[in-house]
Structure 1
Amino acid sequence: MTAHIDASKFLDPRVAAFVSGRHAMLIGGQWLPAASGRTLDVLDPSSGKVIAAVPAGEGADVDLAVKAARKAFSGPWSSMVPAERAKLIWRLADLIEQHVDMLGPINSYECGKPIGDSRNGEVPFTAETFRYYAGWATKLNGESMTINAPGDWHAYTRREPVGVVGQIIPWNFPLAMLAWKVAPALATGCTIVLKPAEQTPIGALYFGKLVEEAGIPEGVVNIVTGFGEAAGAAMSGHPDIDKIAFTGSTEVGKMIARAATGNLKKVSLELGGKAPTIVLADADVEMAVAGASSAAFFNAGQSCGAGTRFFVHRKIYDKVMAGVAERAEKLRLGPGLDPSSELGPVVSQQQMERITRLICEGKSSGAEIVTGGGRAGDTGYFVKPTIISNTTRDMSVIREEIFGPVACAMPFDDEDLDALARDANDTEYGLAASIWTNNLGAAHRLAAKIKSGTVWINCHNFNDVTMPFGGFKQSGWGRELGAQALDLYTQTKTVAIRLP
C-alpha cells in the first residue's frame, strides 16, 4: 500500500523553518555561499518537490576550506591536550542527542527513511559514536621496543594525526556516516573538510551549527556542500589534503583512488555490497523470515550491507519465501515523516529508475517476480518491496548492487558448506553476509569460508560502534568503527635514541 501524503504536514514549524531557510557552507568558522553563487536543489523523495537550496560548492570553495582546516591543524587543535579535545567531542554528542527533534525529522525529510528509524535509531547511534571516540582521544598511545642491536638504546613509537582529511559521505545514512568519519578524525586530532551527499546536505549543515555550539575551534570542521563531480573531485585530488575517506559506490571509489595518487594521500573506502542471506535447513523459520525481510527491505534496501541474495535450503524454501512475500506485501509505504510508514521512498528519481530497470532486466532474462516488481504509485520515488526467483549467476540482478528493496532468492539442496560458500562468494563484493542456523558448528565453519568483512549469524544489519566494519575485494579499503577506525586517521612515527 502506498500512502500519498504531503510529508511537510508532519513537520514541526522549527524544522520547516530551518529546512526552507537560507543555507550556507561552514568554512573557517564562517557561513559562506559558494564562490560561484550557484546553488543546488534538495528534493523530498516522497513527492519529488524542492524543499531547499544549498550552495553548490566547487574547487574554489574546497580550496578555502582546506586552507581553514590546515590553519586549524597547525593552531589550536593540534596543541590542545587530548582531555580537552575529548570534552568537546562529548559535548557535541550531548548536543546531537538534545537536538533529536530537529535532526530526526530533517534526516527523514531529505532521505525518506521512516521517522522512527531516524529518531530512535540513527540519531542516537550518531551521538553514541561521538561519545565512543571521545573516550579514545586520551588513549592514543605508542609503545616502547627492546632493541636487538648492540649498545644502549631507547626506542618508541608515537601515534600522530594524519593531518587535514577530506570526507565524502553518502545519502543512505546521512548522520551515521557523518559520525563514522568525523568522530574518529576529531579524536585523533585531525581537521576536516566534509562533503555531504548532494541529496542530503541539510542535516550536515545543522550539525555544523552544533559543532559551533560545542565550542570546537574554527576551521576544525568545515562543511562544503556540492556535487560529487565538482566538490568531491576537487577534494580527492587536492594536494593539501592528507587523507580522503569515502563511502559510496565502488565505481566512484575507484575514481577517488585514482585521483588521490597525485600526492599519494591516504585513502579509505567503504563501497558496495551484494550480501548473501544464507538460511540452512535447521534454521528457525519464523526468525529467518523476519531476518531476511529486514535484511532486504530495511531503509528501502538502501544499505551497502543489505541482504540481496537469499540462499535458502530447499527443505524450507517455500515456507521462507511465502513468509517473506507476505511481510513484503503488508509493508505500508509512505513518506518517512509519516509515523505510520514502514517503508519510505528511495532517494531520487535516478535511483528509482535504476532499480526498476534492473528488475525489468531480470524479468526479461527469465527470472520470476514473486512479489512487488516495480514502482509503487505515481508520486514520489517509491519502489514496491520485491522478491525475484529463478535467477541465474549471469543476470544483472545477481551481479549488480541494486540498492533498493529487491532481493533474489535461490534454493540449494545439500549441506556442502564449501559449495555453498563458493556460491555466496561468487561476487566482486565482500562487505557482509548473514547465516541463519541453530547449528553452532556449521555457523562457525561457514562464517570462516565467507569472504566478507562482516558475517552476522541469526541477525542482519547489526552494527555496534565497537565493531569494525568494512569490506573484502571490491567492497573497499580499511575499517570504520571500533578501535580500527583510529588507524585511518593516525600515522606511526618511530623514534630511536642511542644513549651516550
Structure 2
Amino acid sequence: MAIPRPIFDGQERMEGSLGTMELMNPATREVIAIIPRCGEAEALEAARLSVDGFRIWSTMSAFDRSKIMRRAADLMRADADDAAVDITREQGKPLAQARGEWLASADLLDWYAEEGRRAYGRLIPTRASDMRWTVFRRPVGPVAAFTPWNFPVWTPMQKIAPALAAGCSVVLKPAEETPSAGCRVVQTLLAAGLPPRVLTILWGDAPAISAALCAAPEIQKVTLTGSTRVGRLLASAAGQHLKKVTMELGGHNPVIIASDADLDTVVALSTEFKFRNAGQVCVSPTRFLIEQPLYADFVAGVKEAAAKLRVGNGMDADTQMGPLATAGQLSKIEALAADALQRGAKLETGGARIGNSGYFFEPTILSGMTPDMEAMNEEPFGPLMLVMPVESIDAALIEANRLPYGLASYAFTNNLSTEQRIVAGIEAGMLGLNHFAMAMAETPFGGVGDSGMGSEGGMEGMEAYLRPFFVTSKAG
C-alpha cells in the first residue's frame, strides 16, 4: 500500500507541521502506517493555494473541465481493485462493498462532469424594449470540504464532483482514520489533467484545521458530512464569516412497517441494509416501528437472518459485515445496548463484542424498545436493530417524527392509502417506500431539522456551488 500523504500544489508532503500520527486497521488494531499530521499552518497554505486554483479552473470552459473529470472517472474504474483494498484496510467494510463504493464514486464524477456542461443561465423578459436582463451562474469560489470515515470516497466525491463541475477549487479535509481514498481521488484527478492548485488534501489536528479554514478569507463555502454536534460548530464558525454552507448531518432513521407489508421481503431487506457497513451509514435504518399484527413474525424473521451473518475481516471473501471503524464506536454501541437492556429491552440476538483483536460487535437485535431508552434518542451508528411495536400507522408516525432529526425515512406497505398517509405525515428529507436504496448521483440527498441544511446529489447538489449573477443592460 502507498502511504497516504497530504497533497499541496500537486506534490505529496512528506512531513506535517504537527509531526506524525498512526493509521490503524480496525480489524486487527495493527498500525498500517505512520503518516504526516497537519495543522493550522497547512490549512492556511491550502486556502491561499485554492485562490490560484480557482482563478485557473473557473476560467476554463465547462466543456474542458468536463473532459478532465470524465477522464478521471475512467481512471478510477481501472483502479477499483487496488482502491478497494485500501478502503477495507483502513475502514473495515467488506471488499465487495469497498469496491462498489469506489465505482459508484466514479459514476458520481462522471454524472457531474456532464451536469457541469449544463449550468445554464437565463434571459428574463424585460419591461422595456431597449433593456436586457441576463442571469449568469457563477461558481461560489474556493470550498473547504470536511468528510467522515464511514464512506471515505463517496462522501468526498459528493463534494468534489459538483464543486469541480461548477468551477470551484476545493480544500479537502478527510477523516484522519481513512485518508487513503481521498488521496487516490486527488492523484487520479491530477493524472487526468486537473491543474495542481485546484484540489488540496490535508488532515491532522481536526479542530485547528477546521477553525483555520472556516475563518480563512479565501474560502467562500464550507461543506460538511458529519455529526450534528460538529455541524453546529462548523456552521457557527462559517456563519461568523458569512460563508455559504451545506451541512449533511446525523439521523435516526425510522422504518414504518405496516401489517400488510410482505414479511419475507421486509425481513430480507431490513437485515441487509441495517447491517451494511456495520450500521455505520447516515441513512441506515435504525428505529423499526412495526404494527402489532406483524410484530412477532418480523422479530422472529430478522433474528434468524441476523444470526446467520458472517462477521469478520473485510479482506475475507465470505465476510458480510466487518468491524466498527473506531474504538469509540465500539464503546458507544456497547453502552447503548447495555442501557436498553437495563431499561427492559429484550436481546433477540447478538449484543456482545467479538474477540479482542479488532473492533468487532455482533449484529444485534433489541426488541421491545421504548422511547425512554438512549438508543432510541441517540443515533447508534452501528449494528443495532431497534424494534418497537406500534398500535397503528398514526402511532408510528408520531414516534417517527418525535426526534429533531429528519434525514432518511422508510415505510413498507402494500396499501396505497397507507402509503399516502405516510408520505403526507413523515417529517424527513427523504422517504424510501418498500425499499432502502437512497443515495444516487442523480437524486437529491439531504435532511431537515438537526439532520442538516442543503442537499447533495442531483441538480440540487450542483446548485450548492453556484451563485446567480444578474446583469441589467440598456441600449446606449
Whether TM exceeds 0.5 here: the answer is yes
Picking from 193, 196, 200, the partner of 2:171 is: 193
CA distance in 1, matches of 2:402, 2:240: 34
Residues 90 and 178 in structure 2, CA contact (< 8 A), matched pair in contact too? yes
Q: Deviations over 1:65-117 (max 9, x none)?
A: 1111111112x212211110000000110111010011111111110001111
Matched residue of 1:407: which SS? strand
Answer yes or no: is 1:210 the counterpart of 2:191. no
List aligned pairs for 1:268-347, cutoff 5 A.
268-347=246-325
Equivalent residue, structure 1, for 2:413: 437
Q: 2:54 maps to what in 1?
A: 73
Q: Is the 8 A contact 2:68 2:189 kept in 1?
A: no
For the 8 Å contact 1:197–1:227, the answer to whether it is kept is no
Provide the residue aligned with 1:231 in structure 2. 209
Match of 2:102 in 1: 123
Partner of 1:311, secondary structure, is strand
Question: 1:442-457 maps to which residues of 2 (within 5 A)?
Answer: 442-457=418-433
Segments of 5+ residues of structure 1 without an aligned counterpart are 1-15
Distance (whole Å) between structure 2 residues aligned to residue 237 and residue 47 of structure 1 = 38
Report how far residue 181 of structure 1 moved: 0.7
What are the Cα deviations for residues 213-237 of structure 1, in whole angstroms up to 9, with x where unaligned? 1110010110112232222332233
Partner of 1:244: 222
Q: Distance in 1 between matches of 2:142 and 2:132?
A: 31
Equivalent residue for 2:114, pick from 105, 111, 135: 135
Write out per-residue CA displacement over residues 329-379 of structure 1, whole angstroms, 9 at most, x where no aligned residue.
Answer: 111110111111110000011111111111111122222212111212222
Q: 2:153 aligns with which of 167, 175, 196?
A: 175
Aligned amino acid, residue 397 of structure 1: A
Partner of 1:99: 79
Is the 8 Å Cα contact of residues 277 and 292 (structure 1) preserved in structure 2? no
Mapped partners of 1:458, 1:53: distance in 2: 45
Distance of 1:54 and 1:232 partners within structure 2 = 19
Q: Where does residue 480 of structure 1 map in the other structure?
A: 456
Cα–Cα, structure 1 residues 420 and 339, in superposed 2: closer, same or farther, change >3 Å?
same
Could you tell me which of 376, 393, 412 is aligned with 2:354?
Answer: 376
Contact (CA 8 Å) 1:306, 1:461: kept in 2 or not? no
Quote how far apart the aligned CAs of 1:208 are.
Answer: 2.1
Q: Which residue in 1 is equivalent to 2:380?
A: 402
Q: Secondary structure at the match of 1:219?
A: helix
CA distances 1:14-47 after superposition (whole Å, capped 9, x unpaired): xx3x2xx4x4211112212444251121110001
Q: Tell me the equivalent position of 1:4.
A: none
**Residues of 2 paired with 1:347 and 1:234: CA distance?**
27
Q: Determine the C-alpha separation between the residues in 1 that align with 2:8 and 2:197.
A: 6
Q: Report the counterpart of residue 88 of structure 1 in structure 2.
A: 68
1:145 to partner: Cα distance: 1.1
Which one-letter code corresponds to 1:258 in the other structure? S
Partners of 1:366 and 1:321 in 2: CA distance: 16
Q: Partners in 1 of 2:389 and 2:340 — Cα distance? A: 17
Amino acid at match of 2:28: S
CA separation in 1, counterparts of 2:308 and 2:14? 45
SS of the counterpart of 1:309?
strand
TM-score scaled to structure 1, two decimals? 0.93
Q: Which residue of 2 aligns with 1:493?
A: 469
Closer/same/farther in 2, CA of residues 461 and 236 from structure 1, 3 Å limit: farther
Confirm whether residue 145 of structure 1 aligns to residue 124 of structure 2.
Answer: yes
Distance 2:347 2:421 in 1: 33
Contact 2:148 2:225 in 1 (8 A): yes
User: What secondary structure is seen at the aligned counterpart in 2 of 1:53?
Assistant: strand
Write the distance in 2 (CA, Å) between the matches of 1:373 and 1:236: 41
What is the letter of the counterpart of residue 88 of structure 1? I
* SS, match of residue 144 in structure 1: strand
**1:174 aligns to what SS in structure 2?**
coil
CA distance in 1, matches of 2:215, 2:418: 46
SS at match of 2:369: coil
Contact 1:283 1:438 in 2 (8 A): yes
Query: For residues 333 and 23 of structure 2, what CA distance do their matches in structure 1 show?
Result: 21
Report what 2:391 is aligned to.
413
Secondary structure of 2:352's partner? coil
Q: Which region of structure 1 is more displaced relative to structure 2, 221-230 or 401-410?
A: 221-230
* Equivalent position SS for 1:267: strand
- Supply the distance in 2 between the matched residues of 1:369 and 1:37 (Cα, whole angstroms): 45
Q: Tell me the number of residue pairs that the alignment of Structure 1 and Structure 2 aligns.
A: 476
Letter in 2 for 1:89: M
Q: Is the 8 A contact 2:143 2:222 kept in 1?
A: yes
- Structure 1 stretches of 4+ with a deviation exceeding 3 A read none
Contact kept, 8 Å, 2:50 with 2:218, in 1: the verdict is no
**Secondary structure of the equivalent of 2:247?**
strand
